[in-house]
């Protein structure tokens, strides 16, 4: 690391921030104060309501609660990601050319990006 670069963020790309409720990307704010956690008042309110309901239910604050439909959707997307990874591995073993492997790897990355946000 270069001298004087500690804490200044030199050479590092700022990480994109997302709403803590809906997952929408937050605008890069350079304002003063704490960074935003939610994209708007309604998302902040929904997050508050969820925290309050979890406290009433005796669940830990960091618990993740999914509906049966959300869980099934997540399992389907994870299965698709695994299948895409297996396709890349099979193509590599079968001697696919580098262009084909790059295309398949790009598809794998897209599948993984879809899983980054649960909402």
Contact status, residue 24 vs residue 18, Cβ threshold 8 Å: yes
What mean pLDDT is reported for the chain? 82
Domain ranges in the chain are 18-64, 66-118
Cα 96 to Cα 88: distance, rounded to the nearest angstrom: 9
Cα 18 to Cα 26: distance, rounded to the nearest angstrom: 5
Cα 93 to Cα 100: distance, rounded to the nearest angstrom: 13
Residue 11 has pLDDT above 60, yes or no: no
> What's residue 30's pLDDT?
66
* Predicted TM-score (pTM) of this structure: 0.53
Contact status, residue 77 vs residue 114, Cβ threshold 8 Å: yes
* Helices marked H in 1-119: 41-56, 68-93, 98-116
Contact status, residue 77 vs residue 54, Cβ threshold 8 Å: no
Band (pLDDT 50/70/90 cuts) for residue 79 is: very high
Cα 86 to Cα 41: distance, rounded to the nearest angstrom: 43
Task: Write out pLDDT tens, residues 30-57.
Answer: 677 888 889 999 999 988 988 888 888 8
| Helix 98-116, helix 68-93: angle, nearest 10 | 160
Task: Provide CB contacts within 8 A for 49, sequence distance 6+.
Answer: none
């Amino acid at each position: 690391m270069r001298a004087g670069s500690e804490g200044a963020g030199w050479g590092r790309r700022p990480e994109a921030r997302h709403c803590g409720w809906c997952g929408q990307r937050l605008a890069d704010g350079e304002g003063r104060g704490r960074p935003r956690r939610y994209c708007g008042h309604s998302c902040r309110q929904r997050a508050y309501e969820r925290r309050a309901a979890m406290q009433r239910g005796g669940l830990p604050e960091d618990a993740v609660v999914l509906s049966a439909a959300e869980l099934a959707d997540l399992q389907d997307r994870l299965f698709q990601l695994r299948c895409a990874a297996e396709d890349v591995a099979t193509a590599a073993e079968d001697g696919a050319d580098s262009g084909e492997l790059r295309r398949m790897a790009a598809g794998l990355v897209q599948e993984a990006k879809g899983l980054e946000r649960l909402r």
